[in-house]
Chain A
């Protein structure tokens, strides 16, 4: 397929960079001179224009024949070493088109929301500079036409997440949460890099060393039969890529950074959770799906990791009391669904869920931000309740998004999640256990989301009197994005209306050119339409049970709250509430081992390295001492001796020169007489 060359894609990437530069470098001065309005303008305008350009690219893409949908904006050759050519080039194909629309669209709304949320922030400019930089990195990641440029964006979002999560860096907890995100991601990135190296190396040995996605796809078939050890290269590469994806997209075992990422400002959480960073792993697998399809083992691993993450994160979400933490585990869980979809080869379904999740999760996070804003920073749901009457817009948008995430029929979340569950059940790589785990997760999602809505917006208010007096709806800059996102969460499902409901799933057809290679993927389905209806009904029923349980426990109180908490002597509850002690487990194993290693290294440094260095110093000192003796006694002795001799001679000779004129005259007279006498005789 021959790409259509265009020259405007670069602006999608560079406009946010320009915004980041303007706000980042002279930002403090701009804020002082022109005020926060100017900063907001500099930050939001690039996103809006970038969104407009993305729409234009999307429209142009639609007008091309389905098999030829690829726009390429080649800027320059970045690296040219040996057979390796890496270009700075941006490409828009159906997949990256979806991605940039989400990033600039949802990201833009989050920018607008931030102008309200962060209004009283002192370093307003710094916040927006990082926010723009974050978007820039994510767009680079999405638009890159090769692995290396993608890696630039990949690292960029990691860096920006560090800066934004630790935005209020004067609090040590926030700073360390930022570090945690950065370091955990670094572990994943290591896998990603190794995978890219291995892929390039293997292809290079076969005469087609390249990192460009199009060429990789073209030559991927060469990997067939290539082995490294007892593993096929395709499996090794994709497993390593998947390690990278677990880091970015917060999957077992590297999900621990995401819940802590709550330390940052709430809109940042929304941006990380919904539109950018965590979707990077899913996107990357979608981008390299031709490799994953060659490695059934990896797909199996991806599917199970995804399903288990979806399940366990949901169980943790059941008991959390921090409004943002519930949402954080919900994100981990929903990402698990995306990976489940990827793992069963239903790439389109995974990406579809990525999009709908961006809508409702952004809305939920911004909604929680709105609540926190109104509650003066209070995040504990036990101290909320009854906020419905003070915050109608936040309440309604939050409820709509909750319906979407819980899989209420016909909302966006319903469409995408049921697509995933159906594919997990029916596709070639899927199985009933996978479906069951995802199914159970869906029920829990409905429960903890309902619990959250009820604890926050219904019942009586548990806030103290002072806070209650100041409860208020958020300003328009915050409320309008919520409304837009709630609308998208509600109707976003129309993008990929399931075939079983007479829709034809346009979303899947849109992505078909990328995912339909080799006959793999979500098409080799077994199971019938009636089966699909049955599963749909089952998951709706499961969600309804979850909702009813939450209602009974928290709203009508017909069921004691402790009913489930006391199961197995409360052990299950305690484990869930303490997040299965995973952080403690890491602290006791990985971190303790690292600390031990550092102590050993330190001892080695003190006793071995220092000993060697000090020994060398002693040898040198002795040598120089001997050298000094030689200098003092031999060389100086010679020089001084010469001087003494000269002085002695001088002191004798100078007697002759008495300065007495009479004396001289005597000498002259006597000498004359002597000479005369000598001449005469």
Chain B
């Protein structure tokens, strides 16, 4: 099992995540898609670290990403709650107040 397999899995996860982000109207769904995208990036980091450099930098990046993802999820959920309080919905199509 080589690098290619990992990259294919990562590509699949990324594509699923992007699809999810682009198509969901539910804000939570969008956030979940973003998590998938971030995970595909983590897979890449770990795979390249394992098969190319052999050092720990890939792992370190992955841990950073996880931490960022956690922080982002917290902020994202807070924003979603704020939107819900204002609009009584989290449908992104309905929250177009900021448009020009």
Q: Residues on A close to B: CB < 8 A?
A: 653-662, 665-666, 669
Contacts and interface: CB of A to CB of B under 8 A. Distances in A.
Interface of B: 18, 21-25, 30, 92-93, 95-100
Given A669-B18, A669-B22, A662 B99 contact: no
B22 A666 contact: yes
Given A660-B92, A660-B93, A665 B99 contact: no
Contacts of A662: 22-25, 92-93
Contacts of A653: 100
A657 B21 contact: no
30 contacts: A653-B100, A654-B99, A655-B100, A656-B100, A657-B99, A657-B100, A658-B96, A658-B99, A659-B95, A659-B96, A659-B97, A659-B98, A659-B99, A659-B100, A660-B92, A660-B93, A660-B96, A660-B99, A661-B30, A661-B92, A662-B22, A662-B23, A662-B24, A662-B25, A662-B92, A662-B93, A665-B22, A666-B22, A669-B18, A669-B22
A605 B99 CA distance: 70
A657 B97 CA distance: 10
A656 B99 CA distance: 8
List 4 tightest A-B contacts by C-beta distance, closest first. Answer: A659-B99, A654-B100, A657-B100, A659-B96
A656 B98 CA distance: 12
A661 B23 CA distance: 10
B66 to A, nearest CB: 23
Contacts of B23: 662
B44 to A, nearest CB: 15
A654 B23 CA distance: 24
Given A654-B100, A660-B99, A662-B23, 14 more contacts: A654-B99, A655-B100, A657-B98, A657-B99, A657-B100, A658-B99, A659-B95, A659-B96, A659-B98, A662-B22, A662-B25, A662-B93, A665-B21, A669-B18
Nearest to A666: B22
Contacts of A657: 98-100
Nearest to B33: A665
Name the residue among B18, B92, B95 with the largest chain A CB count within 10 angstroms.
Answer: B92
A669 B22 CA distance: 9
B91 to A, nearest CB: 11
Q: Output the residue of A653, A656, A659, A661 with the most chain B CB within 10 A.
A: A661
A215 B100 CA distance: 97
A206 B42 CA distance: 122
A161 to B, nearest CB: 89
A654 B93 CA distance: 17
Contacts of A660: 92-93, 96, 99
